[in-house]
Structures are given as structure tokens and as C-alpha cells.
Amino acid sequence: MLYYLFEYLEKHHDLVAAGLYKYISFRSALVFIFSLLISMIYGKKIIDYLRKKQVGETVRELGLEGQKEKSGTPTMGGVIIILATLIPVFLFAEVGNIYIMILVITTLWMGAIGFLDDYIKVFKKDKEGLKGRFKVLGQVGLGIIVGGMLYLNDGVTIKEKLSAQEIVQITEDGGSRLFGDAHKSTKTTIPFLKNNEFEYASVLKWLGDDYQKYAWIVFIPFVILIITAVSNGANLTDGIDGLAAGSSVTIVITLGIFAWVSGNIIFSDYLNVMYIPDSGEIVIFISAFAGALIGFLWYNTFPAQVFMGDTGSLTIGGIIAVIAISVRKELLIPVLAGIFLVENLSVILQVGYFKYTKKKTGVGKRIFKMAPLHHHYQKSGYHESKIVTRFWIVGIMLAVITIVTLKLR
């Protein structure tokens, strides 16, 4: 909202300082500080309120020392992350930007699904929470909305090559609004390849000359798959203090780098990546989100004073997935969000192998001592602080590899 106020003041009242507000770097710094303060200052008040209302978590029994003491720790702390993200975004971002609108919808949608799941667990005393099929239905619904908005909205375009004249004609806000012959496309980026662009519609060439009209048949289901996989991965990773929030900080900051490069006409041309007009505004949202996650970590690191619950974990996964799709880097998710991927795979392998061996021998066997993977290490005798720190280190290594893909092709 303040974005439009300062835009008006600069345009109609020649307020020089208002021009500074247009710069993404300036607003990113503001929203980061603002979201960090909200999550740290008001986070404590929210935790006290949750404790007063006895919104406590029933912790999974692992048979480990110190685990029972966690039972009753306030949950639904994801509300802190959501509020600390959205308030600065509404204040400092260009809320009319298509990418900001999509991310706000994602945050509210996934937050509502997670909140309902936590509500059923806490107040209805149902440990299973929201039935799995309803969670998946919600994720599919979001995928259809996000995929449809990205596919149909005329403001979602790309520009692959820039002429020398266009590079010179950079607009006053750093070139993030130069459209030229930008066009709609469902192209995305394939990592580690020289000719690293893939057009979803290309798999439909057998339909004839008008095959591009049907790109949504491939694009939207893929968006649904990514959102479902990443949100579930984040949900499974949220099992020990600080793991999901800390791992997510590294992921979103890395995506922020990609969003900034893709939305900047100079650097996108220099690094030979597709220029995505208006995508630079995503950096504002990412800065707010990163600040909210770091502020939440203040209370979520061992021993946690609050758990994010599904309110937070499903929201985090949904946001990460949608940001990656928006900046055409969704195929980097298996590398960048490798922690989420491994956690997902550990559960799939554990359940699959148990069912297979039970069918073959009558006795189900397990690959891991417990799934998801972080519980396997807990069962192996590692303290959860050590597990979390090492997972963070692996996440940072994966982030570095992901950033290197900008030039490694």
C-alpha cells in the first residue's frame, strides 16, 4: 500500500525521496527488518496466547530422552510466519503485481489447510488431523489456481534475448519493467545443460500446428505435482526443533537470488538467463518470508518454545514451490530442496519396503529405524541439535550447487 502512496507523491508532488521507494533493494531491506521484528516481538505474544488457550502439540513418541517433555508445547506457530510475511508485503510490495497476488493467495490457501489440520488435532483431539485426501485435494486446488493464473494472465511473460538498444534503454527502476517483445510462454530452465530451456508445450507437437494452445494440459498438472510434493516434503521435515524453518531459510534466499537475476534486465542478459518482466517484485515477498522464518527460529530452535504445526510447514512448502515455478526454476527443486526430497523419499521407501516384505514373507521389514530420515538419526543416538545443524550444512551445500547452475552449463 505504501508503494502506491510514494508513487503518487513522486508523480504529483515531486517528492524526491519517494523515488527511493521504487528500488527493490531498498524495499527488500525494509521488509526483511520489519518482518523480523514482527515475528520476534509479536511472536512472543502469540506464543503466550497459544499457551493460555492450551493449544499444545502431542509429540510423536520416539522413546528418546527429553521427548516427553515436548508434549504440550504450543503449536500453530505457523501463524507467526504468515502474519510476519503478509503484513510487510501488503505495506511495501506492489500488491497489484501478478506474482505478489499469486504468492499471497498461496500463503492464505496453504495456511488455511494447515490451520484446519492443526485445529482438528488440537481441539477435536484427533491425532490424524485433516484426512490425507482432503489435504491433497487442497494442494491440487491451489495448483490449478496458480497454474491457471500463470498460464492465462497477460502479465506473465518472458524475454530470452535482448538487443543492444534495449539494454541501453533501461528504465529508472533498474530495468525490471522493460517488456519489448516479451511474450507468453511455458518455457522453464533445465539445470546443467547448455541449451537449458524446455517448453512444456513441446511434448504435444504430435497434436499439429496449434499444439501450443494446449500447453496447459502439461503445464498445470506439473504445477500441481510440484506444489504437492514440496509442501508435503516441508511437512515431513518439520519433525525436530528448527529443522524445517532453518532449511527453508537457505532455500528461499537462494530463490531470491534467482528472482532478482531473472527480474533484472542487465544481469539476466549477462548470465544468459530468461528475463521475466516484473518478477523482481518476488524478491520483496522473499525478503519478508525470510525475515519471518528467521524470527520464528528465535523461538523454534532447541528447545522449542513453539512448533509451527501444519499451519507453517504446509505454507512454507507451498510458497517455495510457487516461487520456483514463477521464476522458471522448478526443475532445480530436487537439488535446492534436496532435504525435503530425501525426507519424502525416506517415507516412501520405508512404507513401500514394509508392505512389500510383509506381502512376501508375512513379516514387514524396515529400511530405516524410523521415518522420516531425521528420526532415523535420532534413533541412532544423535542429539537433535546435531542432526539439525548437519542438515542445515547439507542444505547450504545444495544451495551453493544450485546457484552455480547459473553459469555451469
- Kindly write down the DSSP assignment for every residue of 62-97, as one continuous string: -S-TTSGGGTT-B--THHHHHHHHHHHHHHHS-TTS
Better-scored residue on pLDDT, 37 or 184: 37
The confidence score (pLDDT) of residue 168 equals 52
C-alpha span between 289 and 287 (Å, rounded): 5
Contact 273, 339 (CB under 8 A): no
Calculate what percentage of the chain has a pLDDT beyond 70. 85
Report the candidate in 21, 18, 39, 17 with the shortest Cα–Cα distance to residue 30: 21
At 395 the three-state DSSP class reads helix
Number of residues assigned to the chain: 409
C-alpha span between 51 and 403 (Å, rounded): 41
**Helix or strand (DSSP H, E) at 188:** strand 187-189
Contact 93, 1 (CB under 8 A): no
Q: 199 has which bridge partners?
A: 187
The amino acid occupying position 86 is L
- Please write the tens of the pLDDT for every residue from 327-337: 999 999 999 99
Task: Give the domain ranges of the chain.
Answer: 30-334
Q: 187 has which bridge partners?
A: 199
C-alpha span between 56 and 232 (Å, rounded): 22
The confidence score (pLDDT) of residue 179 equals 45
At 41 the three-state DSSP class reads helix
C-alpha span between 201 and 124 (Å, rounded): 46
pTM of the model: 0.91
The confidence score (pLDDT) of residue 405 equals 84
Whether residue 222 is predicted with pLDDT greater than 50 in this model: the reply is yes
- Please write the tens of the pLDDT for every residue from 10-38: 665 565 555 666 788 889 999 999 999 99
The confidence score (pLDDT) of residue 106 equals 98
The amino acid occupying position 46 is I
C-alpha span between 97 and 234 (Å, rounded): 27
Report the candidate in 41, 3, 37 with the shortest Cα–Cα distance to residue 21: 3
- Please write the tens of the pLDDT for every residue from 69-124: 676 788 899 999 999 999 999 999 999 999 999 999 999 999 999 999 999 988 88
Report the candidate in 312, 321, 253 with the shortest Cα–Cα distance to residue 287: 253
- Distinct helix (H) and strand (E) counts, the chain: 16, 2
What's the DSSP call for residue 304? P
